[in-house]
Amino acid sequence: MMITRQKLTNILFKPSLIGIIINPFYIARSNLYKHIKRHALKFSGNLIDIGCGDKPYEYLFRNVTKYEGLEISSTVHTSTKAEFSYDGRTLPFDKETYESIFLSEVLEHVFNPDELLKEINRVMTPNGKLFITVPFIWDEHEQPYDYARYSSFGIHHLLKKNGFEIELSEKSCSNIGVLFQLLNGYLYKITYSWNIVFRSAIFALLCFPINLIGLILGFILPNNNDLYLDNIIIAIKRNT
């Protein structure tokens, strides 16, 4: 049976039973999905998803009036549903166009984050909300456009100096599941160029038990808030 583009997007980004079995990024994606779903309904008005790809989380933002997407030139997405593109200098929008802005797993691919955040501030309405997810622990990806990792302190400082106040800050997967996610990521990278049949057999044998054990131990064992996969931030445009 052929897997459509939309079904593949759902498997990769939305937690499901089949994802536990075949998705090597299930622990990261399921934790990220949980946080995004928890907060998506806090956003309203016109929303722009910066670095949107296939807009995998669009359906969660049910309170927005309009959901549009923008792609960043310094990424290597093979498919996108973006209506707009960013040249690395100026967002193609007028001042105070959007009440809500979503930036998920994108800021690490921006070499000039201050410039982008100043532009985001410009196109946001007063008291507009910015929703950011950005990795803290992750391997290099989308090479060569992978420039940074952010601690919670680093991302807070970056946002505050560019005109935002932190409303909410959370950490995704702050448990031993981090180690099992990294193990699956390791297997994914070292088998990437292998024969598809052999590679599929490896994942059939290892991916599911690694995901399952990581989830179970993550539930049982204590958290470590200094070791986690992603920062989840909601920030408000500061009035000037």
CATH number at 99 reads 3.40.50.150
> What is the domain count for the chain?
1
The pLDDT value given to residue 60: 97
- List Cβ<8 Å contacts ≥24 apart for 8-12: 9/54, 9/56, 10/56, 12/56
- List Cβ<8 Å contacts ≥24 apart for 40-44: 40/131, 42/129, 42/234, 43/99, 43/100, 43/102, 43/129, 43/131, 44/99, 44/100
Identify the segments of the chain with pLDDT beneath 50.
1-2
Per residue in 11-38, pLDDT (tens digit) is 678 778 888 888 899 999 999 999 999 9
Distance in angstroms (rounded) separating the CA atoms of residues 118 and 140: 26
What DSSP assignment string belongs to 160-179?
HTTTEEEEEEEEE--STHHH
Count CB neighbours of 238 within 10 A.
14
Domain encompassing residue 77? 5-237
Tell me the one-letter amino acid at 157: H
The pLDDT value given to residue 1: 45
Q: What is the pTM of this model?
A: 0.91
